């Protein structure tokens, strides 16, 4: 079984081979090529285009797929696999994706040719959940703002939300999307004594109250944290209406996809102080341009798309994929 695997700056060749080696069948005839970039920032910028517009949004790396017709399995991380590439894989039995989603693969084209697309769900669930909790604390307790001020030589005892700072214990937190990440976030918040409720049409049963309408959820909570998968159905699910429904002391947290949130509506709400604050790790344009309104706001914590970035999550990814891929291949 000939396998072509594409490494990148996130999951490098050595890490990729070590993870796939947990299933020896995957490394018996393995070719690893690298999707090269000058920097992680450059790769992330291209990845954002793919996430927003599909695998055809950027050009296919020259030469990387030239002999795809010889391979039985294709494994990719962030490198796009548009329909034109799928058509070249005349022997492909499966396409593996080293990520929780499959945004960089034309799944419809693969399915039309009977090629299953296998991903690595939960690969960075712990990383994103822990980061989300950190973002909640950073924004509600002014950790990042105070750090910035002290480093600038200013010992500032108060910020715009000083008179409204509360502890997590007893606060109501709404989770949008109770998948693997959302469930871990819920457990962490519960350990802090927070009261968790959720909106997720795909999850009928959970040990937390389910709210059937996302606008109603927004009306009830002190913190709204977003963990849905990005699909056509969830695009801008946190709409202007949802943001308007948040209470004046509420905080919105997004460590998922920027496309889940109506970014202009959020900026307007923050600028007009109609909500207390926000903590955002993903943006419609990355890196943030120098004239981004986010850079002018005094009630937001912003980070550079870091939520899933841990060595543990990177190393775990090919291991998860290897097992799922072999299950698929053995069943085919």
- Residue 304: pLDDT above 60? yes
CA angle 177, 253, 205 (to 5 degrees): 20
Range of the domain at 214: 125-302
Average pLDDT, the chain: 95
Q: In whole angstroms, what is the distance from residue 255 CA to residue 132 CA?
A: 6
Do 132 and 238 belong together in one domain?
yes
Grouping H, G, I as helix, E, B as strand and the rest as coil, residue 201 is: coil
Question: Do 219 and 99 belong to one domain?
Answer: no
Q: What pLDDT shows up at residue 159? A: 86
Please write the tens of the pLDDT for every residue from 206-233. 999 999 999 999 999 999 999 999 888 9
Q: How far, in Å, CA of 243 to CA of 79, rounded? A: 34
pLDDT of residue 184: 98
Quick one: 106 and 224 in the same domain? no
Is the pLDDT at 12 greater than 80, yes or no? yes
Residues 249 and 314 in one domain: no
What's the predicted TM-score (pTM) here? 0.85
315 and 277: one domain?
Answer: no
pLDDT tens for 151-175 read 999 998 888 888 888 999 999 999 9
Q: 286 and 182 in one domain? A: yes
- Point out the residues that are catalytic: 257, 286, 305
96: pLDDT strictly greater than 80: yes
Question: Could you tell me if 188 and 291 lie in one domain?
Answer: yes
**Residues 320 and 282 reside in one and the same domain:** no
Same-domain status, 258 and 274: yes
Question: Domain holding 237: CATH number?
Answer: 3.40.50.720
In three-state secondary structure terms, 199 is strand
Q: Both 83 and 187 in a single domain?
A: no
Q: Tell me: do 79 and 28 sit in the same domain.
A: yes
Number of domains within the chain: 2
What's the pLDDT at 332?
Answer: 57
User: How far is it, in rounded angstroms, from Cα 304 to Cα 328?
Assistant: 35
Name residues whose C-beta falls within 8 Å of residue 323's C-beta, 6 or more positions apart in sequence: 22, 23
pLDDT at 21: 96
**114-157 tens-digit pLDDT:** 999 999 988 899 999 999 999 999 999 999 999 999 999 999 88
Longest dimension (CA), the chain: 66
Of 61 and 82, more confident: 82
pLDDT at 163: 83
Same domain? 116 vs 130: no
Select the more confidently predicted residue: 278 or 60.
Answer: 278
């Amino acid at each position: 079984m000939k396998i072509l695997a594409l490494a990148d700056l996130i999951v490098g060749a050595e890490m990729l081979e070590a993870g796939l080696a947990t299933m020896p069948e995957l490394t018996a005839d393995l070719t690893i090529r690298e999707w090269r970039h000058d920097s992680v920032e450059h790769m992330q910028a291209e990845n954002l285009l793919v996430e927003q517009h599909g695998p055809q949004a950027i050009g296919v790396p020259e030469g990387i797929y030239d002999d795809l017709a010889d391979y039985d399995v294709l494994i990719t991380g962030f490198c796009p696999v548009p329909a034109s590439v799928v058509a070249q894989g005349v022997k492909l039995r499966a396409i593996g994706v080293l990520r929780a989603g499959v945004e960089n693969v034309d799944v419809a084209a693969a399915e039309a040719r009977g090629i299953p697309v296998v991903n690595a769900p939960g690969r960075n669930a712990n990383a994103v959940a822990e980061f989300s909790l950190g973002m909640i604390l950073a924004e509600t307790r002014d950790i990042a703002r105070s750090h910035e001020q002290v480093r600038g030589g200013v010992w500032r005892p108060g910020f715009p939300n000083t008179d409204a700072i509360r502890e997590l214990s007893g606060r109501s937190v709404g989770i949008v999307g109770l998948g693997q990440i959302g469930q871990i976030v819920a457990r962490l918040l519960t350990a802090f004594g927070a009261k968790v409720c959720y909106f997720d049409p795909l999850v009928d049963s959970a040990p937390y109250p389910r709210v059937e309408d996302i606008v109603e959820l927004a009306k009830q909570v002190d913190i709204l944290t977003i963990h849905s998968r990005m699909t056509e159905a969830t695009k801008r699910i946190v709409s202007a209406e949802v943001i308007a429904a948040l209470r004046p002391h509420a905080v919105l947290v997004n460590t998922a996809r920027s496309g889940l949130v109506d970014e202009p509506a959020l900026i307007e709400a923050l600028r007009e102080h109609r909500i207390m604050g926000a903590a955002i790790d993903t943006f419609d344009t990355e890196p943030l341009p120098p004239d981004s309104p986010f850079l002018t706001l005094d009630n937001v914590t912003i980070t550079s798309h870091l939520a899933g970035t841990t060595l543990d999550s990177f190393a775990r990814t090919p291991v998860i994929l290897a097992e799922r891929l072999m299950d698929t291949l053995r069943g085919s």
